[in-house]
Amino acid sequence: MLAVDQRIEISKLSAVDGMEYFLRNFGHVPDERLHWSPTPTSKSPIRVAAHTALYASRFAKMIRDRRLPSPDQLDVWLADRNAEEEALTERHEMETTFRTGTAEVIEILDSLNPEDMEVIFDTGLGWSMPMTKMIALPGWHATLHGGQIDYLQTCWGDEQIYF
């Protein structure tokens, strides 16, 4: 089993690597495709980017507060989240937000101690999540949504693999 400091370092590297992977691929989205979506109900690249960028700070807050959004307030929380995502419409705003949120993740991860790693997040929905899983989410989340950007690029014929 990994030591606490190893888990934290891996999670920090993952958060930064996930962000950089996402930003690299998103950087290849042409300006004329930022607000494009393959169907009326699909998210555009800028909306996927806004979602991904804003969640870095949200994850930092959840880790810091040792609390997930309350299920009895989930509708309000989701409406606020959607409004924040819809308001983030420019490439430079998204990147700044993403970098700031990832810095918050790194800062909070640096503050954790072994006792913090024992925290279990209760979702209130019949399942829980250990802190060890929560600290891995920022990087995993960014990488996951980076794949969405890859897919959207193929929808407009960009089959290039970016390194």
All domains of the chain in start order, with CATH: 4-31+44-155 (1.20.120.450)
- For the chain, how far is it from start to end, CA to CA, in angstroms? 32
The sign of the torsion formed by the CA atoms of 5, 7, 11, 17 equals: positive
pLDDT in tens, 79-106: 999 999 999 999 999 999 999 999 999 9
pTM of the complete model beyond 0.85: yes
Whether the pLDDT of residue 163 is over 80: the answer is no
DSSP string of the chain, one letter each residue: ---HHHHHHHHHHHHHHHHHHHHHHHTTS-GGGTT--SSTTSPPHHHHHHHHHHHHHHHHHHHHHT-PPPGGGHHHHHHHHHHHHHH--SHHHHHHHHHHHHHHHHHHHHH--TTGGG-EEE-SSS-EEEHHHHTTHHHHHHHHHHHHHHHHHHHTT--PPP-
The pLDDT value given to residue 2: 78
pLDDT in tens, 13-43: 999 999 999 999 999 999 999 999 999 999 9
Count Cα atoms within 13 angstroms, Cβ side, for 39: 2
123: which 2 tokens? 């979702």
pLDDT in tens, 107-118: 999 999 999 999
